[in-house]
Amino acid sequence: MIQDPKSFESFIHELRDFVRTRLVPHEARVAAEDEVPAEVVAEMAAYGLFGYSIPAAYGGAGMTTEELVMAAMELSQCSVAFRARVGTNTGIGSEALVADGSDEQKRRYLPDLASGKLTGCFALTEPDAGSDATALRTTAVRDGDHYVLNGTKCFITNAPIAGLFTVMARTATDNQGAGGVSAFLVERGTPGLSTAKPYAKMGQAGSPVSEVHFDNCRVPAANLIGKEGQGFKTAMKVLNKQRLHLAALCIGPAIRMLNDAVAYTATRKQFGQPVGSFQLVQALIADCQTEIHAARALVLETARKRDAGEDVTMEASICKYFASEMCGRVADRCVQALGGYGYIADNSIERLYRDVRLFRLYEGTSQIHQLNIARRTFSAAGYDLRP
C-alpha cells in the first residue's frame, strides 16, 4: 500500500501539472508529425515516466498497483501517444522481466528501461494468433547455447522504436497448447530480427505499431525468461497487471473528454443560452460523469486487492472490459454534445474519439473478456461448461 499518502498526493498534483503544461501543448504537433518529439521524450524520461512500475533497486519508482493506476489516470489525460511512448516500459515491455527474469537479466535491462534509454515491447500476437494466443506459430529451436527463432508477430506497439523485445515462441512442437510456449528477450540488432514499416492507423498518431519478423534469429539461451514451457504463465502475470493498467489508461481520456465537453457546452450558445443548460445535454454529461466514477472505483478496488496478494484474474478482465467500453461511450457522448464541431478534425475530442477505439481491441477484445468473465462466473458457482 501507499506508504506516504501526502507525498504521493503531491506527486499526483505535480504529474497533473506536467501533463497540462508540458504534454498537452504538443498534441497538435504529435498528430501532424506522427511521432513524439525527441525533446519531449527526453523530458518525460527526466521526469521518470518510464520507470513507474520497475523496482526501485533497478532505478524505477517501484510503484504499487494502486499507485500505478492512479498515475496512469493522470498521464493519460492527453494524447494517447505520450502514455504509449512510455507505456510499454511501465507495462508489458518490462513486466515479464520483473515477474520471472533472472537476477542477471534484471541487472542488464531494467535500469535502461527505467531511465528510458531503452524502449521495450511485448511480442505475442501473430496473424493467426490473436484472441487465441495459444495458436502462435513462431518457433524457437534449441541449437547449442542458442535458440533459433522463426516467425512473424503483428500489431506490436513500439516495435519500430524498441531496443528490447519480449518474445513468445513455441519451444515444444509436440505441445500445441500453452505449455509449449516460452518467453525470450531479444535485442534489436540481433541478426535475423527486423521490424516492418509502421501501420497507418485510424488513430493514436505518434504511437508506432508494426510487424516483427524473425528469420533464423539466434538468441542466447541465457535470454530465456524462466524455464522452457512457462512462457504463458509469464504472459498471464504480465497481462493481468497490464489489463488493470490499461483500464486506468481508459479513464484518463474519458476525464479529459468530459472536461473539454463541459467547457465547450458551458460557453457555446444556442437559442440565447448555453448549450449546457439544455437538459438533454446535461443527461449526456451526467452519464459520462457517472460511468467515469464507476470505472475509477472499480479499478482502484481491484488494484488494492492485487497489492494485497489476491487473485484478481476475473476482476482484471472486468476492469478492462468495463473501462474500455465506458471510454468509448464517453467519447461518443462528448462528440454529440459538441455537435458539428465534435466532428471537425484535430479538436481534442475528435482526436481522442479515434484514439480510444483501440482500447476495446487490445489486451483482449471486449468479447474475449465477456467470455472469460462468464466462464469464471460459472466455474466459481461449481459448473463446468466445457464440451
d(CA 19, CA 33): 19
- Cβ-in-10-Å burial (0-12, 13-18, 19+) of 212 comes to buried
Residue with cell 484472441: 131
Between CA 115 and CA 166 the distance in angstroms is 18
Angle at 39 between CA 255 and CA 11, to 5 degrees: 45
* Residue matched to cell numbers 455537435: 339
Residues in CB range of 365: below 8 A, 6 or more apart: 131
C-alpha cell at 198: 509502421
The neighbouring-strand residues paired with 126 are 129
CB 119 within 8 A of CB 88: yes
8 Å CB contact between 288 and 253: no
Q: How many whole angstroms from its chain centre is CA 373?
A: 20
Identify which of 321, 312, 313, 315 has the alpha carbon closest to the alpha carbon of residue 359: 321
Q: Are 54 and 90 in contact (CB under 8 A)?
A: yes
Q: Is 363 a catalytic residue?
A: yes
What residues have CB less than 8 Å from 96, skipping those under 6 apart?
122, 166, 183, 225, 234, 235, 237, 238
C-alpha grid cell, residue 44: 518525460
Q: Considering 126, 211, 350, 363, which one is annotated as catalytic?
A: 363
Contact, 237 vs 100, CB < 8 A?
Answer: yes
- Alpha carbon distance 271, 380 (integer Å): 56
And the C-alpha cell for 110? 531494467
Which cell numbers in the block locate residue 143?
541449437
Compute the distance between CA of residue 78 and CA of residue 100 in angstroms, rounded to an integer: 32
Catalytic residue IDs: 363
